[in-house]
Amino acid sequence: TANLLTKILRIPSRTLRAGAILNPRFMQKNAIRDTWGGWLFTKYGKSIKDPTGMFIDTIYSPFAMLSVAAKKGPLYVEWLKSGGGMSTMQSLDRDAVVKKLEEVRSGYKPYQVVKWLRQTAEISEEANRLSEFGRALNVEGKTRLGREISAFASRDLSVDFAKMGLQVKALNQIIPFFNATIQGGDKFLRAMVNPKDRKDFLPRVLGFIVLPSLMLAWLNKDDERVKEFYEEEKDFNFITFVGDQAIKIPVPFETGVLAHGL
């Protein structure tokens, strides 16, 4: 439905976005950020008062869901039918639902490297959403309304990339990650403004990001090697050393940068 000028202008944007999100290093970092973000924003996960349950919810469950997403298991199908799909970053670069259906029907050819990369990236994004969907179903029940609430919770666990109006949709075609930036800030503000969400969100931010940041700052205060990193790298990552090897652990966008970088 875009006009000719928009179709021409979106070529550089789509190329840049595809080059970024299909990079295996980005996939690895994004999976860590999504899992970390899932700890912060989950509405159905266990609290810090139940460390065993929290470990299962935040570490074990997303890893288990990787195989569910890859194999398109029953929970995955139920999640799609309930409206949880087409909310990942990869979904935005699909030309139409018809292409998606063709991929499901025919599978991928061995030489379709880009499609395999897309599929890998999509699975890594879907794992945490599927985990939240499963937890929500246990609370909301497997009624039609319960499934819809659970699907919405899974979409809202991190950035819902399909959530945009017509004007932003047009701008997002020519400005890479325009909508993702807006939605990331919106997600953080909604968690802070809503009292019910804030009472769980703030303790998790303090426990998972602020306290580790203070501990790392104290441990690295005399380490000259840390000063060699760019400020941007230090804002977006926990940086520590194992021997002479630097280890960078990415923090979530927006929330991680505010709580760790500042």
Helix axes of 178-193 and 195-205: crossing angle, nearest 10 degrees:
100
Report pTM: 0.76
Model pLDDT, residue 106: 64
Model pLDDT, residue 259: 86
Model pLDDT, residue 242: 84
Model pLDDT, residue 189: 92
Model pLDDT, residue 65: 82
For the chain, report the end-to-end CA distance as a whole number of angstroms. Answer: 42
Per the CB < 8 A criterion, the answer to whether 143 and 151 are in contact is no
Model pLDDT, residue 105: 63
Model pLDDT, residue 145: 92
Model pLDDT, residue 99: 59
Model pLDDT, residue 69: 80
CA gap 215, 229 in Å, rounded: 18
Model pLDDT, residue 193: 92
Cα torsion 183, 251, 207, 135: sign: positive
Per the CB < 8 A criterion, the answer to whether 131 and 61 are in contact is yes
Alpha helices in the chain (DSSP H): 4-21, 24-41, 51-55, 61-71, 74-81, 97-106, 113-140, 144-155, 166-174, 178-193, 195-205, 211-219, 231-236, 255-256
Model pLDDT, residue 150: 92
Q: What is the pLDDT along the chain (262 residues), one digit of tens a residue?
A: 667 877 788 888 888 887 877 788 888 888 888 888 888 888 887 766 666 766 677 777 777 788 888 788 888 888 888 888 766 655 554 554 555 556 556 665 555 667 777 777 788 888 888 888 988 998 898 899 999 999 999 888 888 888 888 888 888 888 888 888 898 889 999 999 999 888 888 888 888 889 989 998 888 888 888 888 888 888 888 988 888 888 898 988 888 888 887 6
